[in-house]
Amino acid sequence: MSEKDQQDRDLVLKFLSGVKDPALKKDIISLGFVKDLQVDGKQIKIKLSLTSPGCPHKDEILSDIVRSLEGYSVIIEVTHNVLSGSFVRKEGTRKVKNIIAVGSGKGGVGKSTVSILLAYALKKLGAKVGIIDLDFYGATIPSMLGSSFVQEVNESGLLIPPLHQGIKIISLAYFVPQNSSVIWRGPMLSKAVHDFMEKVDWGELDYLIADLPPGTGDVPITLGQDRLINAAIIVSTPQPAAVNVALKLIDTFKKLNVPVLGGLENMSYFICPNSKEKVELFGSRYFKEKLEEIGLPYLGALPFVPQLRELEDVGVKEENISYIIDDIIPVAQELTCRLSVLNYQISERPFFLNIPKKK
């Protein structure tokens, strides 16, 4: 490389080091987001690797880059590299970057529905996604999705999870006849959590969504104590009785050192099919107020959609609920962004620090 070329390149790097990731609050050079840089006179090609698919700050970062390189012609290629926390995963989840619990403490607030919607939204954003149904007594993910199961194992003896519309799924519902129950005391629940993670061939996944059971018992305790999940989000209706139980799960995760990314309100309102008016079935505000009180982000509100419930009775197809998925995409973006920040902070080291030198 000529001295002139090196000077051009250094100048461009200097400009780029003025561009910050608004979430991580560091410049994109220190963060190692610039994976490749080609400077050819006034022509610049940048390969940019962001941390989260559908990063909500992507547009802001891109326009900041273009602005910082005024006078240049800039081509930017964006990829993403989902960060992983510093978790030691065993066997089946070895290549799973993030496991996010969807909990509420309370039953019947729509944890499974939210898990499904989040999984579809993350997939739409370009991520590799799975759902692990840890509500063993009330395993409903397969019936809600209309997903069926062929028992297959890989060469290492790990169970191959069914792939439903691109999403890998494991649920006890695949193994127990519909009207039959599992009469398990607590220790069995702990064992089942580990089995579902370790004895299933999850392969490479960016996000594995863990649908939790109600309560603050064996399943969340196992997830926290055994450091199995990266973070959790909390789902609740705005109804005080539900919110107060959700706060208990938040307290549990705090005691177990599981980071909570925020609270998502579900069944917030209902559009009456006759009058088209908005009815707040479970009240309003209480969840948001309580989250603010304890300093946790409010991730948004989802309506009660009877059509979705009807689809869940027979099996949800992605194409039938694309308008609902679109509604939840901002929540998914916010979530992955917060998770990136968390993983970045946890890793306690700058990642991808070196820009590869041009040969």
The contact set with its own copies (CB under 8 A) reads 105-109, 112, 137-138, 140, 143-144, 178-187, 189-190, 213-218, 220-221, 239-242, 244-245, 247-249, 251-252, 255-256, 270, 272-275, 277, 279, 281-283, 294, 304, 306, 309-310, 312-313
Least Cβ distance, residue 277 to its own copies (angstroms): 5
Least Cβ distance, residue 166 to its own copies (angstroms): 23
Which residues lie closer than 8 Å to 346 by C-beta, 6 or more apart? 85, 86
List Cβ<8 Å contacts ≥24 apart for 267-272: 267/109, 267/110, 267/237, 267/302, 267/303, 267/304, 268/237, 268/238, 268/301, 268/302, 268/303, 268/304, 269/301, 269/303, 269/304, 270/303, 270/304, 270/306, 271/303
Instruction: Considering the complex, state which of residue 58 and residue 106 has its C-beta at the smaller distance from its own copies.
Output: 106
Least Cβ distance, residue 155 to its own copies (angstroms): 35
Least Cβ distance, residue 99 to its own copies (angstroms): 20
Which residues lie closer than 8 Å to 120 by C-beta, 6 or more apart? 165, 167, 318, 321, 325, 328
Instruction: Considering the complex, state which of residue 205 and residue 234 has its C-beta at the smaller distance from its own copies.
Output: 234
Least Cβ distance, residue 214 to its own copies (angstroms): 4
* DSSP 8-state assignment for residue 173: G
Least Cβ distance, residue 134 to its own copies (angstroms): 12
Least Cβ distance, residue 317 to its own copies (angstroms): 17
In this structure, what token pair is assigned to residue 295? 């300093």
- Phi and psi for 5 in degrees, rounded to 5? -60, -45
In this structure, what token pair is assigned to residue 130? 């799975």
Instruction: Considering the complex, state which of residue 94 and residue 255 has its C-beta at the smaller distance from its own copies.
Output: 255
- Rounded distance, CA 194 to CA 82, Å? 24
Instruction: Considering the complex, state which of residue 96 and residue 256 has its C-beta at the smaller distance from its own copies.
Output: 256
In this structure, what token pair is assigned to residue 354? 């070196």
Instruction: Considering the complex, state which of residue 187 and residue 356 has its C-beta at the smaller distance from its own copies.
Output: 187
Instruction: Considering the complex, state which of residue 184 and residue 351 has its C-beta at the smaller distance from its own copies.
Output: 184
Instruction: Considering the complex, state which of residue 136 and residue 202 has its C-beta at the smaller distance from its own copies.
Output: 136
- Rounded distance, CA 292 to CA 2, Å? 56
Count CA atoms closer than 13 A to 311's CA, side-chain side: 16
For residue 142, which of 129, 151, 132 has the smallest C-alpha distance? 132
